[in-house]
Amino acid sequence: MIAGKDSFSRLLFRTVNATLLIALGVACLLPLLHVIMASFSEPAKTLAYGGFILWPLGKPTLNGYKILLQYKNVWSGYANTLFYIVAQCLITGTLVFVASYVVTRKRLRYRNAMMAFMMFTMLFNGGMIPSYMVVRYLGLLDTYGAMLIPSAIGVFFIIILKTAIQGIPESLEESARIDGASAFTIMFRILLPLTKATFAVILLFVAVGKWNEWFSALIYLPTAKDKYPLQMFMREILIRNNDISNPNEVANNMQTYKTLVKYCAIVASTLPILLIYPFVQKYFVQGVMIGSIKG
């Protein structure tokens, strides 16, 4: 907009506007700050305090983290989640790339039919119960596959990668072919580098989706606790309020310590994401844009 000379009302507006935005920023940061500080506070004082904690209450303590570290499930949850993220990125990345490569080959007569076949699944799907039945009949329940195979492909990813590949000038491929490049060379030396940004966005979405996932573990891993992703254990600790066994008799006062461990668990499972976040923010913003083109 074009700024005129500031009248009084304009100045008032700008002040109110800036104040509200600062308030929003505070509202976004305050809960996170509270959690971090509470995780170092003396638990009894945290419970008694009842407001937003801006500095560690009492003597700063690492007890909560010590208890959390002894809780083996958190470790296995972390390991599983990392495995799921890496495996899913490899599987989904490969399949989406292959699918986008194939449906952008002009010499394929039925490439549009294949695309339609895949895109129809965006309009309508079978829903939770029939999908569960398919996974069950395939014998995938309680396997690592249950967490990876049903989520192996995203139509939306194929659409955006296809759009990106179509944006590459055809002459580039042609000249490579004339120079004797094989299909593999074209895939890995031309298409992949030129769609790097889109590919990064896709992998990022896959990774974040995997990091957050808990519901499919809930229905597809009914008994295999050893394959639970981190979020399922977080659910045990934070929501279901159980599973924090205290091997050290640190406190008779379990309820107090449970709260402390909850805060520590939130920090331990959110900090990695927040630390990576500044480096990947760019791709997220891009992702929203790419999504909106097709939205």
Partner 1 sequence: MRMKTEKRPAPIGYANAGGLRNLPRNLAVDLRRNAGLYLIMLPILLWFLVFCYAPMFGLGMAFERFTPGKGFFASPWVGLQNFRNFFESIYFLRLIRNTLVLGLLDLAIGFPAPILLALMLNELRSKAFKRTVQTISYLPYFISTVILCGLIVLFVQSGGAISNLLVGFTGGKSVNLLGNGDSFRLVFVLSGVWQFVGYGSIIFMAALSAIDHEQYEAAVIDGAGRWKQLLHVTLPGIMPTVIVLLILKMSSLLSVASDKILLLYSPAIYEKADVIGTYVYRVGIINMDYGYSAAVGLFNSVVATILLLSSNAISRRFSESSLF
**Site residues (CB under 8 A) for partner 1, limited to 5-34:** 10, 13-14, 17-18, 20-22, 24-25, 27-29, 31-32, 34
User: Which string of x and - marks every residue 217-236 that binds partner 1 (by CB under 8 A)?
Assistant: --x-----------xx-xx-
Residue span binding partner 1 (CB under 8 A) among the ranges 72-80, 160-168, 196-204, 279-287 = 279-287
Quick check: 203 and 91 in contact, CB under 8 A? no
What does the alpha-carbon distance between residue 157 and residue 54 come to, in Å, rounded to a whole number? Answer: 42
Q: How many CA atoms lie within 13 A of 182 on its CB side?
A: 2
User: Cα 12 to the chain's mean position, in Å?
Assistant: 41
* CA dist list (Å): 49 to 41, 55, 58, 78: 11, 12, 11, 32
Q: How far is the CB of 130 from partner 1 (least distance, A)?
A: 3
Q: How far is the CB of 276 from partner 1 (least distance, A)?
A: 9
* Count of positions on this chain that bind partner 1 (CB under 8 A): 93
Tokens 């499930």 belong to which residue?
73
The one-letter amino acid at 261: V
Q: How far is the CB of 188 from partner 1 (least distance, A)?
A: 14
DSSP SS3 for 111: helix
DSSP SS3 for 17: helix
138 binds partner 1 (CB under 8 A): yes
Helices 254-294 and 63-70, packing angle to 10 deg: 80
Chain residues 39-68 in contact with partner 1, contact rule CB under 8 A = 47, 50-53
90 binds partner 1 (CB under 8 A): no
- Which of the 8 DSSP states describes residue 226? G
Q: Which residue among 15, 212, 253, 255 contacts partner 1 (CB under 8 A)?
A: 212
Q: Which is nearer to partner 1, 69 or 152 (CB)?
A: 152
293 binds partner 1 (CB under 8 A): no
